[in-house]
Amino acid sequence: MGLGNTILSIEGLKVHFDTMDGTSRVLDDVELSVGEGEVVGLVGETGCGKSVTAKTILRSLPVPPGRIIDGEILFLGNNLLELSREEGHQVMSKKMSYIPQDPMTSLNPVFTVGEEMGDLIRWHGRRRVGPLEFMGLRRRHDNSLAKAVELLDRVKIPASREIIKRYPVELSGGMRQRVLIAMALIGHPSLLIADEPTTALDVTIQKGILELIEEKVKEEELSVLYITHNLGVARRLCDRIYVMYAGTIAETAKTEDLLDNPRHPYTSGLISSIPKLTGDEFKGIDGRIPDYIDPPSGCRFHPRCPEVMEICKQEKPELVKVGGGRLVACHLFSTRGES
Ligand SMILES: Nc1ncnc2c1ncn2[C@@H]1O[C@H](COP(=O)(O)OP(=O)(O)O)[C@@H](O)[C@H]1O
Ligand SMILES: [Mg+2]
């Protein structure tokens, strides 16, 4: 909550994609930070650029077709975008971890859970190793299975000794997601990035996974960037929320301030469009996320905005402080002329 140090800080991030139809200007000056021990939500409709943001941080953006046009991603003092792939991997592998959206496709089908986890436990944070060293290490420490069992116990997988012998196809979606969370916690990361980790699961299973994440965040003193399209989930989990619209940050504030007293018309629309805060997908704001090849001029939200003014069509609003640690990018709040 702005206390202590910033662990992740993104400034002016612009990401484009080269497509058959032209340049798709997806991220347009994204700004975002996560403090030490802070759980930060990134919310917005499907297609607004949440996963592109996560992938850019994690250096897993496909390049091409993706292109990082501009920006800085500072993680523990390093600008990730200036490091080579190898250096970036070194910095990140020990301290940053990831829970993917789809547990079905994120485990390798040809390995048992124990084999996959064992490899990660052995290789965690190491440089690339040659084949001989690989074989040697593989034989040498085999407390890695015991460690895998212990990790599965920590994410409350019943019969963990049996589960490590199974292949991913033999597990339910919820179990696979628990395995992936266990794997994400190997090596005690400082920052966890979770990209809609419950979206692919049944509602009752989602609940258990959320409880687990909540518990682990407390126990492991993690900083978290939690991506979701579900405001109810964000309310429950996050200290602070960023609202994203069409590749731009519309607003950020502490969770309660944002949900109880939204400032940006888009945030208000999102909140009023969900019947209850546990609801699913956003509905009800007229229109949809714009085309990124020819995005609206000025504020990208202006064609959908109930409070649109002339300036909104011409100038992109900057994120400005509006007190209480809040930032809003909307001409209703622009302090123009002050720079
Ligand atoms: N590899 C890609 N090539 C072209 N466009 C992409 C690619 N990946 C993402 N995009 C585009 O970026 C936009 C944002 O996508 P994404 O970040 O996945 O949204 P979400 O907020 O739902 O996670 C979408 O319009 C998507 O089509
Ligand atoms: Mg996504």
State whether the beta carbon of 232 lies less than 6 angstroms from ligand 1.
no
For tokens 């340049």, what's the residue? 23
Q: Which of 51, 53, 63, 196 to mutate to test the pocket of ligand 1 (most atoms within 8 A of CB)?
A: 51
Residue 26: per-residue pLDDT: 98
Residue 339: per-residue pLDDT: 40
Does 337 score more than 50 pLDDT? no
Distance between Cα 52 and ligand 1 center (Å)? 6
Beta-carbon contacts of 39 under 8 Å, excluding residues fewer than 6 positions away, are: 217, 222, 223, 224, 226, 237, 238, 239, 240
- The residue-averaged pLDDT of 199-223 equals 87
**Over the stretch 279-324, which tens digit does the pLDDT of each residue have?**
455 455 778 889 999 999 999 999 999 999 999 999 999 999 998 8
- Other Cβ atoms less than 10 A from the Cβ of 110: the count is 9
The protein residue with its alpha carbon nearest to ligand 1, atom 4, reads: 17
State whether the beta carbon of 184 lies less than 6 angstroms from ligand 1.
no
Percent of the chain with pLDDT over 70: 88
Residue 277: per-residue pLDDT: 46
Residue 274: per-residue pLDDT: 67
Residue 198: per-residue pLDDT: 87
Distance between Cα 219 and ligand 1 center (Å)? 33
Residue 136: per-residue pLDDT: 61
Which ligand 1 atom is at minimum distance from the Cα of 292?
25
Instruction: Sketch the domain layout of the chain as residue ranges.
Output: 6-99+191-299+314-328
Architecture of the domain spanning 6-99+191-299+314-328: 3-Layer(aba) Sandwich (3.40)
State whether the beta carbon of 242 lies less than 6 angstroms from ligand 1.
no
Do 330 and 263 contact (CB within 8 A), yes or no? yes
Task: List Cα–Cα distances, 29 to 63, 242, 329, in angstroms.
Answer: 19, 14, 11
Distance between Cα 289 and ligand 2 center (Å)? 14
Task: List Cα–Cα distances, 37 to 145, 192, 218, 240, in angstroms.
Answer: 30, 11, 9, 12
State whether the beta carbon of 16 lies less than 6 angstroms from ligand 1.
no
**Over the stretch 324-333, which tens digit does the pLDDT of each residue have?**
889 999 999 9
- The residue-averaged pLDDT of 153-167 equals 91
Nearest alpha carbon to residue 209 among 239, 230, 187, 188: 230
**Over the stretch 3-59, which tens digit does the pLDDT of each residue have?**
569 999 999 999 999 999 999 999 999 999 999 999 999 999 999 999 999 999 998
Residue 154: per-residue pLDDT: 85
Residue 2: per-residue pLDDT: 43
Which ligand 1 atom is at minimum distance from the Cα of 53?
17
The protein residue with its alpha carbon nearest to ligand 1, atom 8, reads: 52
**Over the stretch 88-121, which tens digit does the pLDDT of each residue have?**
888 787 799 999 887 778 888 899 999 989 888 8
pTM: 0.90
User: In whole numbers, what is the pLDDT of the chain averaged over residues?
Assistant: 87
State whether the beta carbon of 46 lies less than 6 angstroms from ligand 1.
yes
Distance between Cα 241 and ligand 1 center (Å)? 21
**Over the stretch 217-264, which tens digit does the pLDDT of each residue have?**
888 889 999 999 889 899 999 999 999 999 999 999 999 999 999 999
